[in-house]
Chain A
């Protein structure tokens, strides 16, 4: 079976300028959302506070909010955990015994024994900030590791391209994630790291082909060569993306709760990972290559004159 006609030759890189504009807009928009949301974007894991998830058959966010207000808790955030489910998340910024017991009592007074507590997270403010700092450090070191390994196995230009692409992917995915109203917590981080994995994998597959072609050919034009490599691996790209997307969609549809959260990130990440290989990582390699050649020529010219 064949997915694509032989000698498929689409000039992907000619679309790079359009993609660049698109990416810059997406990255800026994501950064804007990140800062616009302020502290509110963090879940209790990274901010500190109390979150109680209850199951209340037939209940609504409004009725819970009402019960809390009756008990004098006005600053609580109440959300339906998933659309149409009986699970609700109640969040307050306090992380002491009083905050937790206050919510529990308010709910109990109003709903009696009709509810069950599914989950309680109480995170002190110092721990929240520590976890946040540690997550950041872990992610940064992960990225540095990628940079170092690719630079060692390929060339610096490739490493730079891959890492910029990864940053692009994580930033845009986080932007999308925040845009649809999710918050950043520990499982979000795991999802973001999964995207890093997919993005790097995709980039390396293409770069591996580029490396191979460069070694094979004596003379080449870099844009044409990379285009050729993207086309040569296109059927693989499509099949792999399709398959991973299908599993991610299965997770999204059947997973529910925290798993669905994760898979949304993955669906967006898989698509963006492929996009960024073609339109971010590759153009960076080309740009670097041109810059290096220009510098070599300039040096050569100086050398010839003297």
Chain B
């Protein structure tokens, strides 16, 4: 054995060992968990069933609600300075308008904003003499910052909520500027997912007005109007934990407040004994219990005649926290478990049938060399799976198309080499010379064809989305293993195996 062949054999052995290491988690999931060099191959939703959702974060709403809260803060700060703000309004084009009671207080407002609310800048003042309406806006930069925060926070909240589902391997990805892709394999009930994931879950505590306090009219679950005070006393930020409880046959969600929340809640209840406190979720009044006494323990509960399922979903969203802005579903896909299983089963049958054809043809037509081809093809699949595991790739239906193309090109690589060897033998070359010339001459075609395809694969990955990427990944990885198996491993086998036939130097 020449040193060159020895070196090739060593390289080959190392690659096999590495591939086995990469593939290991696929066979013994439990033994190779976190920290191992690779993860088991995931099946895409189209193959194993599950839900796929694309949400758009309504970032403008996040900016609007931030402006509203800034306006509320200005109002309450000014109240301390004995300046009355009659009305605050946030418009759809992201401007905040404050109406003052008297023109004399205009300067106080301007100074206050200039000093303490530096993000705002003054746009215009109308009706200066009577009741001035002052309009402020945020700079482009600040708007973008709030929008960016809204998306990151939405992703964080989604992650929390999805975790509560207890599903294995959910993926949450950001796409573009304001989109979020959520995939949950194995889940079928997309409606429940959408309720839990997509509800804003803005929790508010407001009093039912007892005097002439500014108020708004909301609706309860049945659609009946409920008048509540304008001022929000406490929000969902105060909630530490939420659990479902059944009390006297009624399902309720009991809330445990965090320490700040508990203090605030005690103060609110102490100051308003005898009045009714409304609990509002996403603008709907759930209940308005009467405050009998100050509540010190940091516990509250929401009742509202809901089913156990509803209560459980509500508890989940309250635990996970509110979304900074509403989400709009742009795309939703549900794949039933049987359809995916069917695709796999049929695909496997088809691949086995194809492989059988290949086996028969190659071993008849190319004899012992055909067996070499079959072994290199099997090795090709083996290395491909190993690399896909190494990259943590997901196998999808378009991915299988990429696999099919790769196998086709790998078969072609073998055929190219063998036909060339035959041609060289016909021209009178010896076995070794024919093998060498066959490989050398076929190699430019194999490499050029595969690199062109690889290039396409990389570009498709870079510019493509979803299914195109799945195709591009298996294709690109397959091309690399094809070149390695056809050029390196196949040749090595010709060099170390006799592959003789009766009366001939080579069986091809």
**A and B co-occur in one complex:** yes
Query: Using a CB–CB distance below 8 Å, which chain A residues touch chain B?
Result: 1, 3, 6, 53, 55, 116-124, 126-127, 131, 134-135, 137-139, 141-142, 144-146, 149-150, 153, 186-187, 189-191, 193-194, 196-198, 200-201, 204-205, 208-209, 211-212, 232-233, 235-236, 239-240, 242-244, 246-248, 250-251, 253-259, 262-263, 266, 270
Taking CB atoms, residues of chain A closer than 8 Å to B419 are: 233, 235-236, 239
Q: Decide yes or no whether B467 CB sits under 8 A from chain A.
A: yes
| Least Cβ–Cβ distance between A151 and chain B, in angstroms | 11
Contact residues of B between 107 and 151, Cβ < 8 Å to A: none
Given contacts A119-B333, A138-B468, A194-B404, 7 further A-B contacts (CB under 8 A): A118-B336, A122-B329, A127-B331, A240-B415, A250-B357, A254-B350, A259-B346
**Minimum CB distance partner of B407 in chain A:** A247
Taking CB atoms, residues of chain A closer than 8 Å to B448 are: 150, 153, 204, 208
**A256 close to B408 (CB less than 8 A):** no
Residue of B46, B398, B411 most packed against chain A (CB within 10 A)? B398
Taking CB atoms, residues of chain B closer than 8 Å to A257 are: 339, 342-343, 346
CA gap between A240 and B418 in the complex, in Å: 12
| Least Cβ–Cβ distance between B122 and chain A, in angstroms | 36
Name 29 interchain pairs, CB-CB below 8 A, sorted by A.
A118-B335, A118-B338, A118-B339, A119-B333, A120-B190, A131-B465, A131-B466, A141-B462, A142-B459, A145-B455, A149-B452, A190-B398, A190-B467, A191-B401, A193-B460, A197-B453, A205-B449, A240-B408, A240-B416, A243-B358, A247-B350, A247-B404, A251-B347, A251-B404, A257-B342, A257-B346, A258-B46, A259-B350, A262-B404
**B456 close to A146 (CB less than 8 A):** yes
Given A138-B460, A209-B445, are A243 and B411 neighbors across the interface (CB < 8 Å)? Answer: yes
Could you say which of A120, A208, A242 contacts B332, with CB atoms under 8 Å apart? A120
**B405 close to A194 (CB less than 8 A):** yes
Taking CB atoms, residues of chain B closer than 8 Å to A208 are: 444-445, 448-449
| Least Cβ–Cβ distance between B144 and chain A, in angstroms | 21
Taking CB atoms, residues of chain B closer than 8 Å to A235 are: 419
CA gap between A209 and B416 in the complex, in Å: 11
Taking CB atoms, residues of chain A closer than 8 Å to B426 are: 6
**Minimum CB distance partner of B194 in chain A:** A97
> What string of 1s and 0s marks CB contacts (under 8 Å) between B173-198 and chain A?
00000000000000000100000000
* Majority secondary structure of chain A interface residues (helix, strand, loop or mixed): helix
Could you say which of A55, A122, A212, A256 contacts B331, with CB atoms under 8 Å apart? A122
**Interface size in chain B (residues, C-beta < 8 A):** 69
Given A212-B444, A247-B358, are A127 and B407 neighbors across the interface (CB < 8 Å)? Answer: no
Query: Using a CB–CB distance below 8 Å, which chain B residues touch chain A?
Result: 46, 54, 190, 329-336, 338-339, 342-343, 346-347, 349-351, 353-354, 357-358, 361, 364-367, 397-398, 400-402, 404-405, 407-409, 411-412, 415-416, 419, 423, 426, 441, 444-445, 448-449, 451-453, 455-456, 458-460, 462-468, 470-471, 475
Given A197-B475, A200-B453, A243-B358, are A254 and B353 neighbors across the interface (CB < 8 Å)? Answer: yes
**A259 close to B397 (CB less than 8 A):** yes
CA gap between A3 and B361 in the complex, in Å: 12
Could you say which of A1, A117, A150, A255 contacts B452, with CB atoms under 8 Å apart? A150
CA gap between A42 and B466 in the complex, in Å: 17
Given A134-B463, A142-B456, are A256 and B361 neighbors across the interface (CB < 8 Å)? Answer: no
**B401 close to A262 (CB less than 8 A):** yes
**Minimum CB distance partner of A45 in chain B:** B467
| Least Cβ–Cβ distance between B469 and chain A, in angstroms | 9
**A266 close to B357 (CB less than 8 A):** no
Taking CB atoms, residues of chain B closer than 8 Å to A134 are: 463-465, 468
Could you say which of A186, A193, A258, A259 contacts B456, with CB atoms under 8 Å apart? A193
**Minimum CB distance partner of A140 in chain B:** B463
CA gap between A120 and B46 in the complex, in Å: 11
Could you say which of A144, A189, A200 contacts B467, with CB atoms under 8 Å apart? A189
**A186 close to B467 (CB less than 8 A):** yes
| Least Cβ–Cβ distance between A199 and chain B, in angstroms | 10
CA gap between A154 and B149 in the complex, in Å: 51
Taking CB atoms, residues of chain B closer than 8 Å to A191 are: 401
**A145 close to B459 (CB less than 8 A):** yes
**A243 close to B415 (CB less than 8 A):** yes
**B415 close to A239 (CB less than 8 A):** yes
